Amino acid sequence: MSTTTLPAPTDPSMLDPEERLDRSALEALQLERLQWTVRHAYENVPLYTRKLDDAGVSPDDIRSLDDVRRLPFTTKEDLRQTYPFGMFAVPMADVRRIHASSGTTGRPTVVGYTAGDLDRWATLMTRSLRASGIRPGMKVHNAYGYGLFTGGLGAHAGIEKLGATVIPMSGGQTARQVQLIIDFEPDAILCTPSYLLTIADAIEQAGIDPRSTSLKVAVLGAEPWTNEMRAELERRLDLDAVDIYGLSEVMGPGVGNECVETKDGPHIWEDHFLPEIVSDDGQPLAEGDRGELVFTSLTKEAFPVLRYRTRDLTRLLPGTARPAMRRIEKITGRNDDMIILRGVNLFPTQIEELVLGIETLTPHFILELTREGRMDALTVRIERHPDLSRETCEAAAEVLAQRIKVHIGSTVAVKLEEPGTLPRSEGKYKRVYDLR
């Protein structure tokens, strides 16, 4: 935990009116917006006309929030099939901006925003930054990538709308990032958690104590990260690290955000997004059960989505700092990140958790999957601690292998690497290398 005193909760007078609704008023608003969204999608997106007709559901059938379950799912494959603009629900002339995510294979996924969509996005980013503890008049160093990625420009608009000062740094050029953090004295930084680790190392290498900078808050997201990583970053940089969640298909950054005073998982901004949790085969799960997060947008004009399957694994929890809005448990993995090693399922974040629990290890590691004969093998390649002896580092590596065996149930090899030799993050970190 940070050594600074616990941050004060946001003054209620600063909240958006929707953040102060009670649950029943919020649900009434959601239903009205759900009915609008389903009709809008049905009437303007041929894919949804077909999907709803095939499912035998009409917009008039949506009479309660539970009726969302009657709607068909939307998947990334639907976006690929309609590439590039087939799921836009407004004429192109009304689309003010396009974003796209590269994706690992084939066509990128493309999303669009009307002027109204951009305004609501900025409002939700403002809300997210406020929940993180950022206030008007602060300076915010924005190191999310600018361009087709939603991180940079999405956060940018929210910083300006909040009345804070944006430093539009984008990702990469780490030495320059360090220089500007020292010279411009920002109060807050926005980037991926893995990139903040790279920046912390670079500050140290410049001969500066990372705890001595002006930074008080870090708003971190765009990739899975653990509470152990939060503790590590807060300790090394003496700041509050807060979780921001989002995805381009549903909007971009700011679909949900943690409140700095509780740090107990992102509150979903439910006045704009209806969340559900489903099993692998799409069955609704009970409140509190772990499964795949699914979203229906409630206010999007250019790119409405009905029951979009995020592939992110989490569960829904009751609201705390914003009582009416439910939270998600910190996302520890995606369906597609899961490694199946000789029948045991494991997520890279489980290894991150164990690595960070051993003080004599560094947080710099990658996972390599290989095949030995007919067996799959996993090697954790981890940089040894630069200030500790070989023997100490080798003992630490052995402890890690044992803990992975005990806690996850997998036998893995742990290989020590020289300091500074593994790839460093400049954005979303590539942790797993499949060499099979």
- Positions that interact with ligand DLL (CB under 6 A): 101, 144, 150-151, 221-224, 243-248, 252-253, 310, 312, 331, 334
Nearest to ligand DLL of 312, 383 (CB atom): 312
Bridge-partner residues for 344, per DSSP?
341
Q: Considering the complex, what minimum distance in angstroms separates the CB of residue 77 from ligand DLL?
A: 15
Nearest to ligand DLL of 59, 266 (CB atom): 266
**253 within 8 A of 132, measured Cβ to Cβ:** no
Q: Which long-range contacts (CB under 8 A, 24 or more apart) does 376-381 make?
A: 376/341, 376/342, 376/436, 377/412, 377/413, 378/339, 378/341, 378/410, 378/412, 378/413, 379/412, 379/413, 379/414, 379/415, 380/351, 380/355, 380/404, 380/412, 380/413, 380/414, 380/415, 381/415, 381/417, 381/422
Structure tokens belonging to residue 357: 């629990």
Q: Considering the complex, what minimum distance in angstroms separates the CB of residue 364 from ligand DLL?
A: 20
Q: Considering the complex, what minimum distance in angstroms separates the CB of residue 66 from ligand DLL?
A: 25
C-alpha 312/C-alpha 166 separation (Å) is 30
Nearest to ligand DLL of 38, 425 (CB atom): 425
Nearest to ligand DLL of 297, 384 (CB atom): 297
Q: Considering the complex, what minimum distance in angstroms separates the CB of residue 267 from ligand DLL?
A: 12
Q: Considering the complex, what minimum distance in angstroms separates the CB of residue 99 from ligand DLL?
A: 9
Quickly tell me which residue has 């980013």 as its tokens. 125
Nearest residue to ligand DLL by CB is 221
C-alpha 395/C-alpha 417 separation (Å) is 14
Nearest to ligand DLL of 221, 348 (CB atom): 221
Positive/negative CA dihedral, 362, 367, 370, 375: positive
Nearest to ligand DLL of 335, 389 (CB atom): 335
Q: Considering the complex, what minimum distance in angstroms separates the CB of residue 151 from ligand DLL?
A: 3
Nearest to ligand DLL of 244, 325 (CB atom): 244
For 317-350, give one letter per residue: b (16+ CB within 10 A) or e. eebebbebbbbbebbbbbeebebebeeeebbbbb
Structure tokens belonging to residue 114: 């009307």
Cα–Cα distances in angstroms (integers) from residue 301 to residues 40, 49, 113, 264, 268, in the given order: 8, 16, 7, 31, 19
Q: Considering the complex, what minimum distance in angstroms separates the CB of residue 389 from ligand DLL?
A: 36
Quickly tell me which residue has 């109060």 as its tokens. 187
Nearest to ligand DLL of 42, 225 (CB atom): 225
Tell which residue, 152, 154, 159, 147, has the closest CA to residue 217.
Answer: 159
Structure tokens belonging to residue 269: 């901004």
**288 within 8 A of 276, measured Cβ to Cβ:** no
Q: Considering the complex, what minimum distance in angstroms separates the CB of residue 330 from ligand DLL?
A: 7
Nearest to ligand DLL of 292, 383 (CB atom): 292
Nearest to ligand DLL of 133, 253 (CB atom): 253
Q: Considering the complex, what minimum distance in angstroms separates the CB of residue 252 from ligand DLL?
A: 5
SS (H, E, C) 336-373: HHCEEECCEEECHHHHHHHHHCCCCEEEEEEEEEEEEC
Q: Considering the complex, what minimum distance in angstroms separates the CB of residue 352 from ligand DLL?
A: 12
C-alpha 15/C-alpha 19 separation (Å) is 6
